[in-house]
Amino acid sequence: MEKNKSQSVKVDNFSSTIGLAANPGFQSTLSIASKGLPQDDKPYNPFEHRNVQHPNTTLGSILHLLKSCLGSGILAMPAAFKNSGLVAGVIGTILAGFVCTHTVHILVKTSQQICVEAKRPSLSFAETCGAAFMYGPKRLRSWSGAIQKFVDYSLSVTYLSVLCVYVVFIGSSLKEALDVYMPGYQLSIQAYCALSLVPLVVVCQIRNLKYLVPFSAIANALIFLVFAITLYYMFFDLPPVSDRVMVANVSTWPLFLSTVIFAMEGIGVVMPVENEMANPRRFLGCPGVLNTSMFIVITLYGVFGFFGYVQFGDEVKGSVTLNLPQDEIIAQSAKLIMAFVIYLTYALQFYVPMEFITRMLATRKSNSYENLIQITIRTCLVTLTVAIGAAFPNLELVIGLVGAIFFSTLGLFIPVAVQTIYLWEKDFGRFNYILWKNIIIAIIAIIALVSGAYVSIDGILEDFGRHTVINIVDENSTVT
């Protein structure tokens, strides 16, 4: 077990939700009910009590955050700019990046403050949320356990929703690449999603995180190859910027915001990275690990979004790799490589909800049929994500929906709510500026959730209805 824990932080996922569940900073195993402990004259310093077997350097921590954010999400940024326009996209990306960075700062700072009061060396995301209630207003302390479980469940559901996006990503990439070489056997995206079921079920039977480490290394190397190929085509023979919309219709802005949040938000990896640092004081502050990483992320996302939209215009798809030329082998290979990368990443992301489920199964009185139960649960979960992905194959809209519902809640709303609860009977600063600032961010999160979900669902239903009409017309044509 200790070996797994020490190795788990080495898993470098490039998605906005890195699979580091085996990390002590992720697992919800620490008790937070330590009120009433003897008080020492010297304030408790949680950093001095952390026993990390293989701590990360400051540079290593920056790389972990970068790899957790620079993944498939960045390939969706051109589609986000399509929904905002060039000028609005640049401004919106900077503002969204600032808000996402600030909410991560809030979460980490609150966790560190609670560690001092609770006399605990470190807390995970879910534990921080539960402890905020435990050390917040007295009338809310009984909610602590329920809140911690709620966040644990929410994280698991969020990762499963990302897996649905991955299934659509695999199906779309395979269709774009293979339809060209098999014109007589063109399949639908749904069919390619279904064909991915067996390979995904097989790879997700791997239960030990150390066996997934090579998958991470391969995925990280291949994703940079895909980025290089994509950038080449993105900057080759760029059309005039004036040919593109500067500010898009306001009705499509929610899709922009939810896509950016999906791509940029890495709330699941924050606490594990901070908890595993050799010098955790350097995580926050200026420049700090967080600020340095997010500055690079925001810059790269802006570049990809801006020039991707300039190059492909309104024809840009949910992943810009799907816009690469179909008559060039290098471009087609990038699509197949990306499908393989997502396949490997699926297994890494799948580890997170399964780690939570495994902890729940550990409470069983008997270990009978343990192997059968594991295989059944894993097979059913993979089948569920494939079925959902196949049912809603529009990648752009699915990304918007997941970003709106899950990441605006976990990444924006919950951190400010946690800080507000914890500081309720303490100090909100001069003129209660922390309270007012958190209220504004909470309102932004709710707007992103409601508007993004509405626009995405409306688009999914419209797309579903359009495909139904096309199928009916095709059937009638065949009969005639």
Higher pLDDT, 20 or 142: 142
In angstroms, the CA 195 to CA 197 distance is 5
For the ranges 105-109, 181-185, 222-226, 463-467, the maximum mean pLDDT occurs at 105-109
Look at residue 11 in the predicted model and tell me its pLDDT: 40
- What's the CATH code of the domain at 116? 1.20.1740.10
- The reply to whether 339 falls in a domain is yes
Domain ranges, residue 412: 54-478
Q: Average model confidence (pLDDT) for the chain?
A: 84
Phi-psi region of 19 (alpha: psi -120 to 50; beta: other; left: phi over 0): beta
For the ranges 154-158, 285-289, 332-336, the maximum mean pLDDT occurs at 332-336
- The reply to whether 48 falls in a domain is no
In angstroms, the CA 163 to CA 166 distance is 5
User: What confidence tier does 5 reach under pLDDT thresholds 50, 70, 90?
Assistant: very low
User: What confidence tier does 21 reach under pLDDT thresholds 50, 70, 90?
Assistant: very low
Assign 3-state DSSP to the chain and report helix, strand, coil percentages, each to 5. Answer: 75, 0, 25
- C-alpha distances (whole Å) from 429 to each of 115, 128, 433, 435, 437 are 21, 21, 6, 8, 11
Q: Given a cut of 90, is residue 278 above it in pLDDT?
A: no
User: What confidence tier does 347 reach under pLDDT thresholds 50, 70, 90?
Assistant: confident
Phi, psi of 56, deg, nearest 5: -90, 145
Look at residue 210 in the predicted model and tell me its pLDDT: 74
Query: Model-level pTM?
Result: 0.81
User: Which residue bears the tokens 């990304």?
Assistant: 399
The answer to whether 253 touches 93, Cβ cutoff 8 Å, is no
- The reply to whether 122 falls in a domain is yes
Three-state DSSP class for 176?
A: helix
In angstroms, the CA 173 to CA 344 distance is 14
Question: Over the stretch 69-82, which tens digit does the pLDDT of each residue have?
Answer: 777 788 899 999 99
Question: What's 83's DSSP letter?
Answer: T
- The reply to whether 248 falls in a domain is yes
Question: Over the stretch 364-400, which tens digit does the pLDDT of each residue have?
Answer: 777 778 889 899 999 999 999 999 999 888 888 888 8
- Mean pLDDT for 459-478 is 61
- The reply to whether 472 falls in a domain is yes
Count the neighbouring beta carbons within 10 Å of the beta carbon of residue 377.
Answer: 15
In angstroms, the CA 340 to CA 174 distance is 10
User: What confidence tier does 466 reach under pLDDT thresholds 50, 70, 90?
Assistant: low
Q: What is the CA radius of gyration of the chain?
A: 23
If one counts the domains in the chain, the total is 1
- C-alpha distances (whole Å) from 238 to each of 233, 244, 308, 326 are 9, 12, 10, 18
- The reply to whether 287 falls in a domain is yes
- The reply to whether 65 falls in a domain is yes
In angstroms, the CA 388 to CA 164 distance is 6
- Name the helix (H) or strand (E) containing 363: none
Cis link prior to 287 (omega < 30° from 0)?
yes
- The reply to whether 238 falls in a domain is yes
- Mean pLDDT for 162-167 is 91
- Name the helix (H) or strand (E) containing 194: helix 189-195
Q: Exposed (0-12), middle (13-18) or buried (19+): which is 226, by Cβ within 10 Å? A: buried
Going by C-alpha positions, the residue among 149, 150, 107 that lies closest to residue 132 is 107
- C-alpha distances (whole Å) from 24 to each of 51, 123, 149, 275 are 10, 8, 17, 8
Out of 67-71, 283-287, 418-422, least confident range:
67-71
Question: Over the stretch 303-328, which tens digit does the pLDDT of each residue have?
Answer: 999 999 999 999 999 889 999 998 88
